[in-house]
Amino acid sequence: MRALLPVLLALPTAAALQPSPSASPAPAPLRVAVLSDFNGAYGATMYPAALGRVMNRVLNEWRPDAVLSAGDLIAGQKASLTDAQVRAMWAAFDRNVGAPLSNARIPFGFTLGNHDAGLARDRREAAAYWNAHTPALKFVDRAAFPFRFSFTLGGGRVFVVSLDAAGPQVDAAQRAWLARELARPEARGAGLRLVLGHLPLAGVSTGKNRPGEVIRGADALRGVMERGGVNLYVHGHHAAFYPARLGGSAVSGAGTGAGLNVLSSGGIGGRDYLGFPGTARSTVTLLTLWPEQGRVTFQTYDADTGQELKTDALPPRIDGLGGPLVRVSEFR
C-alpha cells in the first residue's frame, strides 16, 4: 500500500479575501433647465400660465442641478414705468421663480435681458434686487454682478460666464474681460465652458432678424469664445428654440474659426423661425451636461402641451443676419 502523504492546503490570506477593487464609477452628468424670455407685457406683474406649469415640473419632477436663464425675467424697458412698478415686477419674479428655486436649493444662473436692464433706471433696480437676493452660486468673479459675472457648477466641472449683452453692443472692454475669464484656471480645468448672453450672434426668428436685435460685430465676440474653448453660447431674445452650429466647417465661408455651438433658448410665448411661418411655440429645455466627455445633450418641451419637441422637426438651417445657423442634435 502506498504511504499516504499529508496534503497541504493553501489557505487564502486576509488580503485575498478582500473584494478586488473596481474602477471608480464615472461622474454623473449634470442636468440643467434652461428657461428664458418669460416676461409678459410692459409692466406686467402676472406671468403667463405656461410659466407656472414649467416651474411645477422644474420643482417637482425634474429637480435639476441648476436653472439657467438667458434673460427677460421681467417686463421693463419702458420709460413711462415708475420705480415702484419696476420693483413690483421684481417682487413678482421673486414670488414666481426666484424664491421657489431658492427654497428648493436649486441654483439660478442668469444673464439680464433688454427688458431687465435696457434702461438706466432698470439697471439700478435690477442691481438692487439681485444684490438683495444673490443666488447660491459658486462665484469666480462677481465684481460687476449682476451684469457680468462667472461661476462654476458641479464642483468645478462646468464653468459659466454671464455677459452683459442686454443690448447689441458688447464692446472691446467686455470682450477682453471674457477672454480673461476663459483663461482662468477654473475655466481651463472645467470639462465644459458655457457663456450666457441675452442677444444672439445670429438671427433666428421672424420680427427680430434686424440690426439692434443681434449683437453688433458678433464675429469678434465669437472669436473670443472660440479661442477660449467655449462649448456652448446660450442666448435668448428671439424666443425660438434652436440648437445650432455657427461658422466653421459646418458652414462654408461663415466666419474664420472652427465654429461655435449656439443655443437659442426659446421662451414662454415664442416666435416663428425666420422663413418658417406657423412654427411659434413656448418651450423649456433640459440640458444634460457631460463634462468628462465634452458634450451636451438636450430635451426640449412645449411649455403649453408638455410634449417633447423632436429636433429633426426643426428647420435644418436658418439664414438670418450674421448666420447661417445649421441645426445640430447635440453639442460637442
CATH number of residue 264's parent domain: 3.60.21.10
The number of folded domains in the chain is 1
What band does 25 get if pLDDT is binned at 50, 70 and 90?
confident
Specify whether the CB–CB gap between 266 and 240 falls below 8 A.
Answer: yes
- Indicate whether 237 pLDDT > 90: yes
Reduced DSSP (H G I as helix, E B as strand, rest coil) percent helix, strand, coil of the chain, to 5:
25, 25, 50
- Indicate whether 20 pLDDT > 80: no
pLDDT tens figures, 292-311: 999 999 999 999 999 999 99
Cα separation, 54 vs 104, whole angstroms: 15
Q: What is the mean pLDDT of the segment spanning 122-133?
A: 98
**pLDDT attached to residue 23:** 63
Domain contains 139: yes
**pLDDT attached to residue 7:** 37
**pLDDT attached to residue 252:** 36
Domain contains 75: yes
- Indicate whether 10 pLDDT > 50: no
Specify whether the CB–CB gap between 26 and 291 falls below 8 A.
Answer: no
User: Strand, coil or helix: what is 180?
Assistant: helix
**pLDDT attached to residue 106:** 98
State the residue range of the domain holding 78.
34-327
pLDDT tens figures, 41-94: 999 999 999 999 999 999 999 999 999 999 999 999 999 999 999 999 999 999
Domain contains 28: no
Domain contains 55: yes
Q: What is the mean pLDDT of the segment spanning 135-161?
A: 98
* Mean pLDDT value across the chain: 92
Specify whether the CB–CB gap between 265 and 236 falls below 8 A.
Answer: yes
Domain contains 14: no
- Indicate whether 155 pLDDT > 80: yes
- Indicate whether 330 pLDDT > 90: yes
pTM (2 decimals)?
Answer: 0.91
**pLDDT attached to residue 26:** 82
Domain contains 213: yes
- Indicate whether 6 pLDDT > 60: no
Distance of CA 251 to CAs 45, 319, 323, 326, Å? 43, 11, 9, 7
**pLDDT attached to residue 2:** 40
Domain contains 21: no
- Indicate whether 204 pLDDT > 70: yes
What band does 258 get if pLDDT is binned at 50, 70 and 90?
confident
Cα separation, 19 vs 201, whole angstroms: 54
Domain contains 16: no
**pLDDT attached to residue 18:** 52
DSSP-H helix ranges across the chain: 14-17, 49-57, 83-93, 99-103, 114-117, 120-132, 172-183, 185-188, 218-227
What band does 11 get if pLDDT is binned at 50, 70 and 90?
very low
| Long-range CB contacts for residues 40-47, cutoff 8 Å, separation at least 24 | 40/75, 41/75, 42/75, 42/76, 42/77, 42/78, 42/81, 43/75, 43/78, 43/81, 43/85, 43/89, 44/75, 44/89, 44/92, 45/88, 45/89, 45/91, 45/92, 46/92, 47/92, 47/96, 47/268
What band does 22 get if pLDDT is binned at 50, 70 and 90?
low
Q: What is the mean pLDDT of the segment spanning 145-171?
A: 98
